[in-house]
Structure 1
Amino acid sequence: MSGLPIQSLTKTALGVTVVRQNLTLFREQIFQDSPFDDSSAFQDDVHDQILLSPLEREVVDSPEFQRLFRLGQLGFVDLVYHTANHTRGAHCIGTCGVSKRLIDGLNRNNAKFASLRRERRGDKTEILEISKVERVLISLGALLHDLSHGPFSHDIEKKTHRYVSASKWIKVESHYGPFEKHDNYHTNPALYVFLMDTRVSVLARILRCYSRDFYQLLADEAHRYSHLSPFFALTQKWKTADQEILPSLLFHLLVFEKTEEAARHEILVRTSFESESVVAWGLGPQDLRSELHQAWYQPFRHDIIGNTLSADLVDYLLRDLQRLGKSRNPDWKIRLLT
C-alpha cells in the first residue's frame, strides 16, 4: 500500500513518529486553556451547539456517563410515539448547556440590577455574582444529575403519593414498581459509587484528577467572593481537600436537593453494590462536617439544576415536545434564557 519495500517500512517512513508528535502538540494546544473553559462543541438537535469544558468532555466519555446514552428518557413512550426515543445522555448534556445560560443570565441581570440601584439610590451594595468555581460545579452537577437512573427510569420505580391528614400533606410510597426511586441514596448506591469510588469507577478517577485544579480555582476566587471565603478557610483544615474537593462537593450538591433536608449535615447513603449497609456521609472529615456544610450550602446552586423552574425542566420540556412531534419552537424559551 505504501509503495515501499518491506525493509523500508520504518516508523519514520510511515510517518508514525510525525503523527504522534502532531497529536502531542495538538493535545498540548487544547490544554493550554483552563480545564474548566468551554472549548469543545457538542452538536445538539434542540439547543444547536453546546459548549463543554475539557473536564465535561472527559466526563461524557467515561463509561459511567456513556450508559446514559442507552437509557431512554421517556421509558416506554416510544411504543406509541416512535420518535420519542431520545436518551438521558442527550438530556443531561442539554441540561448542562441550559444551566450555563441560566447562570450567565442571572449574573448579567444581577449586574444590571446593582447598576440601577447605584444610579437611582446611590446604593453601593455588593453585586451578587455566581463565581466561576460555582459555575463549574453547577454545570457539572447538571451534566450528572441523572447519573443514578436505571433502565426504563421512572417506569420501573415505586411511585410517591401525597394525601392530606389533619391539614398536613403526608408522602406515602406505593408498592407498585419493582425498584426504589433512583434518587433514594439510602438504597441505590449508583451515584456514590460512580462519583466517589475510584476502585471501580472511571468517572471517580477523572474527578479526582481534576480536583487539584478545581481547588486552586476555589483558592483564587475565595479572595474575590466574600461568600466563598469562610468555606475556603475551613478547607485548610481538611488535609486531603485538594484530592477530594471536587467529587465531594459534587455529591453534596446532588444529594442535598431540598432546603428542609439541608438542616442536617449528614445523610445515610449506601456506598456499594455488594453490600446493603449504609454509612453517614458528610462533606469532608467527620470533625469538620457540620462547619463545612453550613459554610458551603446554598439552595440556589441546586435550584438552577432542578426545581420548579430549572435547567432540567427547560431542557426536557423542549426536548420531549420536539421528539413527540408537538414542538412549534416556543418563543418563551428565548425569553427565559436571556
Structure 2
Amino acid sequence: MVERLDPGKRDDEKSDSRPSGAEEFPFERPPRLPQKWQRSTRAERQEFFLPVSGFIWFYPEEVKVIDHPAFQRLSRINQLGQAHLVFRGATHKRIEHVMGVVSVISKMISATRINSEKNAIRKGPRSSAALSPHEERFLRLGALLHDIGHIAAGHTLEDELALLGKHDADQRLSLVFSKDNWDVPDNVEPESLETLVDRLYANYVTPKLRDAGLSPTDIVRLLIRKPPADAEHDPFKSKQEVLLESSEIRFSVCSNMIGNTICADLLDYIYRDWYHVGKMRSVDDRIFQYMEIRRKFEGHQHPRQNMLAPSETELPPSSDDRFVISLGRETKVRTDGVSAILNLLEWRYELAEAVLFHRTKVAAGAMLDRALFELWETVDEKALLDRLLEVSDEQLIDLALSEATAKLKKKESDDRFRVARGLLQNLKHRRIYAVLAAFNHTNLIHNKIEIAKRDYGGLGGQEKIAAANRTNAARNLEKDFELPPGSLAIYCSTVKPKIAEVSISVDDSVMRFADYEDEHDDLLSGGHLKAQINRFDRMWRIQFFIEDSALESLGEEGALNLRRAISDILLSDDDPTTLRARVQQFAKAYVHDQIQGGKNSVSYVAEMPDAAWRDETVARKYPNGADCIRNFIRRRS
C-alpha cells in the first residue's frame, strides 16, 4: 500500500507510520511537491476560522490572493441575496463560502488519493492516477476563485434582467483579473489579480503547459469559467483545447471537483446556507468515501483491455479521466452512496423551496427586478459594471436610489425613474409587496405554462426580452386597472436539479447518474431520482405582487377582476380573435361597473381612436399579443 505522509513533513523527510485507528481520511494533509519547486512549509501556512468549516489552513500564496482587493470584494456580497429579509441570520457573504470551498476541496483531494490507495490492493476496476501536486495547487486556487466574478444583486442583474453578462463568463473574468486600479490604501502599490496569480503560481505550471502558452491565470480561468455558447469564436479556444487534451492538469477532473454537480461548491453551500438560515444540517462525510478518479472509456474500449503490468497499481493520468462517485458493482451496489447523493439532492430542493422561493424573498426580488430594469434598461453594460464592481449589496440600494433621484431632478421625460425610486424606497424600508396571484403546475394547464416560460421566464436564453415583457406587462396592468405606476411587480423563475448530472461509476462504466438510470430501469434509485427531478421542474411558478395601498384601492371585486385578467388575458393561449373578444368583455364589464358606481366619464368603444395613443409610453399589447383592456375604453375629462 502507498505510504501515507505526515502533513508536516517535507518530501525529503521520512513519514511516520500512522497509529491504528487513525482517521481514514487525513483531510488536512497538504499536497506533496517536487523538491526542485519551492514549497510552503507548515510553519508558513495561516489558518482562518469559519462557521461550519472550523479552522481552514491556506498556503502563503493563497493568503496573498485572499488579501487582494478583487477577492476582498466578496466580503461585501451576500451569499443568499435578500434572504435576510426573512431569515435574519442569512447575512453571510461570498467570501466565507469560497474559503469554505477550499476546505472541502482539500477533503476531496485526500479522499481521491486514499481511495486510489485502497483500489491498488483490491481486485476490480483500477483508479486512474491520483492528483499531481500541480493539479492540487490549481484545484485549491480554482476553489478559492470560483466566485470571483460575483457582484451585488448579481442574480437579478445577470440571470433575471440580463443587463450584465454572467459572473463566470470571459468578459467578467477578464475585467476582474486585469483591473489594477482597485480602491486600496495610498501606501499599497496597485497590482492586478492576474499579475499576482502569474507571479505566485509560475512554478506550478508544468513545462509542457508553459511551452503551450498557458499561464497560471489561463489555467485557473479555464477551470472556473462558463465557456461561450459559440465555441468557434471563443477567445480561449486554443488554450481550452490544450487543457482538454492535457494529462498533466486534467480539465474534466479538476473543473468538476470545483464546481459541477456534487462538487466542493455544493458541499460547502448546502451546509453553510442551512446553518445561516437557522436550520443547521449535520455534516455527513460519507460521500467522500466514494470519490474517485476513473477512466472513461469510449466505444469498444474496455479497461480490461488496457494492458497494465501486474506491478502497476493505477492507470497513468489521461485527459479521459473523470471525477466520479463510485457506487460499487451491479452485484454489490453501495446503496448508502446512492442515498448520500439523493440526500444532497433533497437538501438542495428544500433549500430552494424554503429559502430561495420564500414568498417574501421572491416579492423583494420582483421589486428589485423591476426597479433596476426601469432605472438601467438603456445603460451601457460596461459603464454599469464599472459602477457596480466594488459596490456592496448594502450600498446598491442607496446607489440606485440616489441615481433615480438625480434623474428626476433633471426632469426626465417619463415615469421610469419615479417608479424605480418608489420601489427602491419601499425595499430600503422593508415595505414588501403582497402576493396578488401565483400560478404553477397545479393551476395552469401545460400550454399556459409554456407561454409564461416563453414570455416572462427567459426560456431559451431570452432573459432580457423576458425582463422587458415583465416590466411592460406590469405597466399595462397598472394603466388598465388605474393603479399607481410601480405598484405591481412580476417574478418568473425556476431552479435546476444539477445533481442528476453527476458522473458515477458502477463496475467499469462511467456515466451521468441520470443516463445510468435511464439505461438500467432506475436500478440505483428505484425512480427516486426521476421523482426529484420532477419536483424541481414543478417548483416553477410565475407570481404577481402588488403594493398594499394599491390592493386596498381595488377592493375585493377589483382584485378578483385583476387576477382574472392575468389568467385569462396575459397567460392565454387562445387565438387572436377569441382573445380579442375576451378583452372586449373585460372592457365592457369594467365600464358597466364604473357607471354603476356613479362614474359616467367612461364608455365602451369597439376601437380606440388613434388620438388616444399619443400619450402612451408603452406598447398597448401584452407580450402574447393580447390587446390592453383600455384599448376599448374611452375616458372623458
Q: With structure 2 as the length reference, what TM-score do the two structures score?
A: 0.35
Shift of 1:281: 2.4
CA distance in 1, matches of 2:196, 2:40: 12
Q: Deviations over 1:116-143 (max 9, x none)?
A: 13xxx7x9x6752011110110111011
Q: Deviations over 1:257-297 (max 9, x none)?
A: 79xx7x95x763xxxxxxxxxxx22455xxxx744542355
SS at match of 2:48: strand
Query: 2:245 matched to which residue of 1?
Result: 294
Within the candidate set 141, 161, 175, 1:193 is matched to 175
Query: 1:330 matched to which residue of 2?
Result: 282
Shift of 1:181: 2.8
SS at match of 1:72: coil
- Unpaired runs of 5+ in structure 2? 1-36, 183-190, 290-637
CA contact (8 A) 2:169 2:225 kept: no
SS at match of 1:158: helix
Query: 1:34 matched to which residue of 2?
Result: 39
**CA gap 1:105/1:267 in 2 versus in 1, 3 angstroms:** farther
Query: 2:463 matched to which residue of 1?
Result: none
Shift of 1:152: 1.9
CA contact (8 A) 1:92 1:143 kept: yes
Within the candidate set 246, 270, 274, 1:321 is matched to 274
Tell me which amino acid in the other structure corresponds to 1:311.
Answer: A
Q: Deviations over 1:140-187 (max 9, x none)?
A: 10110011111023133334xxxxxxxxxxxxxxxx4543332333xx
SS at match of 1:100: helix
CA distance in 2, matches of 1:314, 1:212: 29
CA contact (8 A) 2:116 2:127 kept: no
SS at match of 1:195: helix
Among all aligned residue pairs of Structure 1 and Structure 2, give the percentage whose two residues are the same amino acid: 26
For residues 196-235 of structure 1, the aligned pairs below 5 Å read 196=178, 202-215=192-205, 218=206, 232=208, 235=210
Greater CA radius of gyration, 1 or 2?
A: 2
- Greater relative CO (CA pairs within 8 A, separation 6+): 1
CA distance in 2, matches of 1:191, 1:300: 21
Tell me which amino acid in the other structure corresponds to 1:302.
Answer: S
**CA gap 1:299/1:78 in 2 versus in 1, 3 angstroms:** same
Shift of 1:88: 0.4
CA contact (8 A) 2:119 2:127 kept: no
Q: Deviations over 1:87-119 (max 9, x none)?
A: 0011000011101111111111111012213xx
CA distance in 2, matches of 1:136, 1:105: 16
**CA gap 1:212/1:78 in 2 versus in 1, 3 angstroms:** same
Q: What is the Cα-based RMSD across aligned positions, in Å? A: 3.0
Task: Compare 138-147 and 148-157 and name the one that shifted more.
Answer: 148-157
Tell me which amino acid in the other structure corresponds to 2:132.
Answer: S
Q: Deviations over 1:193-226 (max 9, x none)?
A: 33356687532221121133223xx35xxxxxxx
Q: With structure 1 as the length reference, what TM-score do the two structures score?
A: 0.63
CA distance in 2, matches of 1:245, 1:199: 22
**CA gap 1:177/1:78 in 2 versus in 1, 3 angstroms:** farther
Shift of 1:331: 4.3
- Unpaired runs of 5+ in structure 1? 1-31, 160-175, 220-231, 269-279
Q: Does 2:154 correspond to 1:153? A: yes
Count residues in correspondence. Answer: 242
Q: Deviations over 1:210-249 (max 9, x none)?
A: 133223xx35xxxxxxxxxxxx2x643x4xx5xx621111
CA distance in 1, matches of 2:233, 2:65: 25
CA distance in 2, matches of 1:90, 1:131: 27
CA contact (8 A) 2:116 2:130 kept: yes
CA distance in 2, matches of 1:106, 1:126: 9
